[in-house]
Amino acid sequence: MGAREILESWGVMDYRVIDRAAIEEITLGASILATGGGGDPEIGLLWTYKVLDEGKEIIMVDPKYVPDEVQVASPACLGAALVLTEKPPSGGVLNLAMRRLERYLGRPIEATIPIECGGVNSPVAYAAAAELGVPVIDVDGMNRAFPELQMTSWVTHGVHASPTVSVDDRENVTVIDTGDDDVLAENLARRAAMAYGGISWVATYPMTGRQVKDASILYSQSIAWAVGKAVMNARRGHLDPIEELLNSLRRERGVEGFRVFKGKIVDINREFGSEATKGFTLGRVTMEGIDDHRGHTAQLDFQNEWLNLRIDGEVRCLPPDLIAVLDAETGEPIRTDIMRYGYRGTIVLIPAHERMRTEKGIEMFGPRHFGYDLDYVPVEELNG
């Protein structure tokens, strides 16, 4: 069976074929929405290029067409982004994870759902779908990136990560089944990744079509695609990529983003990769304003992803709202794992998707969850 046959069995005639240009646009958009995390898009793209070169098809389907009873799951990379850069994936690891999840569930998986917007995990969900011969559903669990497995709209809407299958490239397999305890699932999955040497490949969040529709960020892939396409168009037409990005958000989501700062990195306070930090990249960055922002200072806290922004000591953005630090010329995101002293960037703030802003969501991935003594205030109120 291939993706088209599955869609036919669902009675669906309307779908999008994702070619190389499309996956590049989606991945660029996803890496911008990844708020400084999500890993190196080159690694995720390598995989999609490989499956496309092998003649496999990537098919994306609207969530509204997904039958209630079908079984789907999310293939993803879980571990330290820096390790991944040194250790690109070998083919087959996500296949192995998905096949073992099918065996554990005793049911075939008929579609993939990306877990987050990220340079790795967005294209990975497409590549895995093509390898498995199933469609990708136009959703995800965050419409941004976050450092932990349980930080999804799925969990805050009552869908759980268990069972999760975690594998490494030597075909070691760990099945994690913690019922509704998603924080323990994250803890176990993180420890498995450390035992494997820093990086794991997971098949996680098995759920039904009904749950996809009730609990996902709907059209998250279309949003990433629109953002990526806007920035690519800006590059080609020598337009302002930030302006085009903000326009794409207005069109695609009907929300207003905020261009709040332009500066250069003058200080990076970083710890990473130790057992103590559980494999996360974390710390604080200071940027000094340039151009119109000369004389002002921005401070960004990060834990894999950017979390908090202060400008001149005033809080301007808190999780789950999105912070993107972008190259003003190219719109390319500056990631926390590769940023350096002296990098110049424009800071753009984007309201999180409404399904990420529920009371449960603020509790599970608002500022207090990350250990900051701050109450969540929506980014549009902080930048009104």
Contact residues: a second copy, CB under 8 A: 104, 170-179, 181, 184, 187-188, 191-192, 194-196, 275
Spatial distance between the Cα atoms of 214 and 205, rounded to a whole number of angstroms:
14
Q: Smallest distance from the beta carbon of 66 to a second copy, in angstroms?
A: 28
CA distances 202 to 105, 142, 191, 240, Å, are 15, 17, 13, 38
* Tokens encoding 90: 């070998």
Q: Smallest distance from the beta carbon of 117 to a second copy, in angstroms?
A: 28
Q: Smallest distance from the beta carbon of 103 to a second copy, in angstroms?
A: 9
Q: Is 325 helix (H, G, I), strand (E, B) or coil?
A: strand
Q: Smallest distance from the beta carbon of 350 to a second copy, in angstroms?
A: 34
Nearer to a second copy, 187 or 208 (CB): 187
Q: Smallest distance from the beta carbon of 185 to a second copy, in angstroms?
A: 9
Nearer to a second copy, 194 or 328 (CB): 194
Nearer to a second copy, 183 or 268 (CB): 183
Q: Are 107 and 132 in contact (CB under 8 A)?
A: no
DSSP 335: P
Give the list of residues 6+ apart from residue 151 with CB closer than 8 angstroms, or none. Answer: 142, 364, 365
Nearer to a second copy, 100 or 335 (CB): 100
Give the list of residues 6+ apart from residue 247 with CB closer than 8 angstroms, or none. Answer: 230
DSSP 333: B
Spatial distance between the Cα atoms of 369 and 364, rounded to a whole number of angstroms:
6
Q: Smallest distance from the beta carbon of 210 to a second copy, in angstroms?
A: 25
Nearer to a second copy, 187 or 297 (CB): 187
Nearer to a second copy, 144 or 278 (CB): 278
CA distances 70 to 3, 4, 110, 311, 356, Å, are 14, 15, 7, 47, 24
